[in-house]
Structure 1
């Protein structure tokens, strides 16, 4: 493993994310939103997450900044990062596939929204968040910089902990007891743990 391959793996992760998400985003635009909890808070959470998972790593990849935060490249650490990239992309694909037309980038309930409990959702309530956590871990392993590397963990962590409770309340408001039963038999993002 080389620094170039580690950076290429991060770019593959970001590119794979776009390729996987694009068809679902197109379909989502054609399905009207029945209710939404978007607002200033949601936009700020999304901006913080984008900064950590997108903006800061791209600045680092393009410019090398901030150089003061660099640490020596560790090939084994980066190789582990490549494995986490693969896991992130698989989880991201499985979550989009299971959600289908129910997918939304934000806290939206679509017309004819159904509670998805099949596929990867039979084990986890928020596997897409699991995929984002995997992205953040992969980034920390691949980018040997104390700012750009862990920025994803911080940025996505702010979004996750600022949003997951609201999302679950929205699902409870929409699906009631059906969602309570689902919550009782699944974990949020880590099988058997959390």
Structure 2
């Protein structure tokens, strides 16, 4: 039986609001439509992420019942740090979605007359909405104050989004060719200014 650690009623409310915001944001994203005549290149990555994230969240929550993996100390600090990361990730993802506008849709596709956006958060990061998602995923895992829960969230999320990013970048190269290749040379996939995650 899962036993999610909540250090205070206020902390529990903050956690619940962040989680509800996450669900509502992803629900809204998956209801967004796209223009007729779009070229689909999704390779089922949308559905892989939906099923995979439901599985990851379910398993991570279940793992809180395995108390041998509980964070042994500073649980309050880790909980609130996790909630802060969740909120930060949600806001950053929402900002990235808003900046991309009508081009941000739940499936990998190229819309008619689509242009390459390289401003705002996309100036340095090719997939800022996924950066926001990873902050939320890590924050959720930390807020559960259980190392197995955190490991499950990360281990199940990374392969799904790695596949999605690969599919997305292949579609962008196909659509924009050398323009996108040049963009790749001066931007990072997820984290700006680091040699990792090129």
Q: Name the TM tier (shorter chain).
A: 0.7 to 0.9
CA distance in 1, matches of 2:157, 2:10: 24
- TM-superposed CA distance for 1:80, in Å, is 1.3
User: Equivalences for 1:52-131 in 2 at 5 Å?
Assistant: 52=56, 54-57=57-60, 60=61, 67-69=65-67, 71=70, 72=72, 74-131=75-132
Q: 1:192 to 1:65 in 2, by over 3 A?
A: closer
**TM-score where L is the length of structure 1:** 0.81
Root-mean-square deviation (CA), in Å? Answer: 2.7
Deviations 1:47-104 (A, max 9, x none): 223321x4335xx3xxx66522451570111121122123202211111111110112
Q: 1:114 to 1:11 in 2, by over 3 A?
A: farther
| Structure showing the higher helix proportion among its residues | 1
Q: Any stretches of 5+ residues in structure 2 without a counterpart?
A: 1-5
CA distance in 2, matches of 1:48, 1:21: 13
Deviations 1:126-145 (A, max 9, x none): 00110111011101210023
Q: Secondary structure at the match of 2:161?
A: helix
The number of equivalent residue pairs is 187
Q: Secondary structure at the match of 2:33?
A: helix
Q: Any stretches of 5+ residues in structure 1 without a counterpart?
A: none
**TM-score where L is the length of structure 2:** 0.79
